[in-house]
């Protein structure tokens, strides 16, 4: 696993051992960031929920984002994120919150807003819906924002409309998909 492009291109990252996280494969990450290229700019602020290794937030920083907040509940994964941030020398642009996603968003409420939010929750637990329900009513979203949800291919997101969101693009892969979400 590595940074694909930008100022830290080819830098190797570490991931937690075992199957508790699913680091995004380089090829899928490259496709994702090619889609997101027009939306990542010098003042972008990124929220990386269910961060795992932090690879998505770090990739955004490497490509020019201003700041990233990494949210990860696992102590082992948070330690990997911290190591990866140091490897990239992004300590001044990064913050780690070791809590569940909704608790972390409550902490951030009123002090931060984000242009780009990554969500890669454990599959089949409904955690993405809980996080999106919180985001729908929060003040964490910039006016122009994108939420990228990685989930299994079979996962339905029919609740998005009731929350005032729309899925404006879906990119399917062999076993999973990225759902690109914004407020209507």
Contact 105, 99 (CB under 8 A): no
Measured CA to CA, the distance from residue 15 to residue 5 in angstroms comes to 19
> Which structural domains are found in the chain, ordered by start?
26-183 (3.40.50.150)
- Report the share of the chain in percent with pLDDT over 70: 97
Q: Quick one: tokens of 150?
A: 């990685």
pLDDT of 18 strictly over 70 = no
43 pLDDT band (50/70/90 cuts)? Answer: confident
pLDDT band at 183 (very low <50, low <70, confident <90, very high): very high
Q: Tens digit of pLDDT for each residue in 70-98?
A: 999 999 999 999 999 999 999 999 999 99
Query: How does DSSP assign the chain, residue by residue?
Result: -B--SSTTTT-B----SSSS--PPPHHHHHHHHHHHGGG--TT-EEEEET-TT-HHHHHHHHTT-SEEEEE---HHHHHHHHHHHHHHT-GGGEEEE-S-HHHHHHHHTTT--EEEEEE-PPTTS-HHHHHHHHHHHSS-EEEEEEEEEEEETT---TTTGGGTEEEEEEEE-SSEEEEEEEE-
pTM score, two decimals? 0.94
Sign of the alpha-carbon torsion through 155, 178, 145, 86: positive
Residue 167, Cβ neighbours under 10 Å: how many? 15
Higher pLDDT, 38 or 109: 109
pLDDT digits (tens, 9 = 90+) for 150-164: 999 998 888 999 999
Instruction: Note the Cα 154 to chain centre separation in Å.
Output: 20
Q: For residue 131, what pLDDT is reported?
A: 97
Instruction: Identify whether the C-beta of residue 128 lies closer than 8 Å to the C-beta of residue 101.
Output: no
């Amino acid at each position: 696993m590595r940074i694909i492009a930008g100022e830290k291109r080819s830098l190797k990252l570490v991931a937690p051992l075992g199957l508790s996280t699913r680091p995004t494969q380089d090829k899928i990450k490259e496709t994702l960031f090619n889609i997101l290229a027009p939306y990542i700019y010098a003042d972008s602020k990124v929220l990386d929920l269910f961060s795992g290794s932090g690879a998505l937030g770090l990739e955004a920083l490497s490509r020019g984002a201003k700041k990233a907040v990494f949210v990860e509940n696992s102590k082992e994964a948070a330690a990997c994120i911290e190591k990866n941030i140091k490897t990239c020398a992004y300590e001044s642009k990064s913050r780690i919150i070791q809590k569940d996603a909704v608790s972390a968003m409550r902490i951030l409420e009123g002090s931060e807003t984000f242009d780009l939010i990554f969500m890669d929750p454990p599959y089949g637990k409904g955690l993405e819906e809980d996080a999106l329900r919180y985001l729908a009513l929060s003040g964490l979203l910039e006016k122009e924002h994108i939420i990228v949800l990685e989930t299994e291919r079979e996962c339905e997101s029919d609740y998005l409309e009731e929350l005032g969101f729309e899925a404006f693009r879906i990119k399917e892969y062999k076993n999973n998909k990225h759902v690109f979400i914004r407020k209507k």
